[in-house]
Amino acid sequence: MTLGCGFISILLISRLMNKDDSGAFFTVITLLISLSLYSRIGYDKGLIPLISNSKNVNIKTRNLVRTVIFCLYGNILAVAVLLFYQIDHFLIYLIMPFITVNNIFVAYFKSVSKPNTSFLFDSSFVYCILLIPLSIFLFLGINISLNQIFMIYISSVISQNYILLYLVRKERLNFKFDLHDLNISFYEYIKDVYKMRYFLFITVLANLSRLLPILFLSIFFMNNDISNFKVIEQIAMSGTIIITVVNSIYSIKYVENRLDLDKILTSVFHSSAISIIFSIIYFLII
């Protein structure tokens, strides 16, 4: 559902905005999401075993808070780099912490085996919220400007953040502790980054496919070309929705059976078979 909303939202944005503005929007959002991903350097993924392996509420809470703070350090560094380069539409990047916290909360719900919540609030859920005002604008026949779509996007991200924060508070975690006990100084963060430098390098390489096309187009082409590219990309990538859905569902099983290689291999086989069968059906229909 969330991936479908993302697909429809991007088509509506292209429909409701002129090509230059929609191209600028797609460039900024792609860079924003990529920087948020890189600045987390895998802390959100590393949170899953820390939470799932612990039965102590205090330890779970401390690991969650420590992960949030360390990822926010990364956000601050990323925003500082953007400020140095005087990048266009700088203010939109100030919502990076909200995107980061959203991803950490999603990782938390994966770690406590709540697949419905984690899957629902994965990165595309913000487009489900975004789809509401976009549909209204389409119904009324009103075009939107670049500043308007930025404000709508910011509101959607913060709304998702608020909902997730409400759900996390219902988990009955114990937030009554001294922050000094967490050892969360910036110096400790730098030491952690150094230890994880190879993982950071792998993360950058693994996600270049999302960032490089937009960066290349933004340097050598016009914004209207980026807008056309994004629409074509979404249509082409629509076939991967099935694989993404199946992998998201089975990722919970991978966490639960992480110590049993036979069960993990069985889950991989089942998820692959389901993905292949439904992908074939999808492309036959298309």
Over residues 39-95, the pLDDT tens digits come to 777 777 777 666 767 677 777 777 778 888 888 888 888 887 777 666 667 777 778
Q: How confident is the model at residue 259 (pLDDT cuts 50, 70, 90)?
A: low
Tell me: the pLDDT tens digits for 148-189? 888 888 888 888 888 888 888 877 776 676 666 667 777 777
Cα distances (Å, whole numbers) of residue 52 to 60, 212, 253, 257, 262 = 9, 35, 12, 11, 20
Cα distances (Å, whole numbers) of residue 157 to 106, 111, 163, 221 = 14, 22, 10, 29
Average pLDDT value for residue range 23-33: 82
The pLDDT, as a whole number, for residue 103 is 82
Q: Residue 98 above 80 pLDDT?
A: yes
Q: How confident is the model at residue 206 (pLDDT cuts 50, 70, 90)?
A: low
Q: Which of 16-25, 92-101, 211-220 is least confident?
A: 211-220
Q: Give the distance between the most distant pair of CA atoms in the chain.
A: 58
Supply 55's token pair: 């039965």
Q: Are 286 and 241 in contact (CB under 8 A)?
A: no
Question: For the chain, what is the HEC assignment?
Answer: CHHHHHHHHHHHHHHHCCHHHHHHHHHHHHHHHHHHHHHHCCHHHHHHHHHHCCCCHHHHHHHHHHHHHHHHHHHHHHHHHHHHHCCCCHHHHHHHHHHHHHHHHHHHHHHCCCHHHHHHCCCCHHHHHHHHHHHHHHHHCCCCCHHHHHHHHHHHHHHHHHHHHHHHHCCCCCCCCCHHHHCCCHHHHHHHHHHCHHHHHHHHHHCHHHHHHHHHHHHHCCHHHHHHHHHHHHHHHHHHHHHHHHHHHHHHHHHHCCCCHHHHHHHHHHHHHHHHHHHHHHHHHC
The pLDDT, as a whole number, for residue 179 is 66
Q: What proportion of the chain, given as a percentage, has pLDDT over 70?
A: 71
From CA 286, how far away is CA 272, in angstroms rounded?
A: 21
Query: Which comes out higher in pLDDT, residue 169 or 207?
Result: 169
Q: Average per-residue pLDDT in the chain?
A: 75
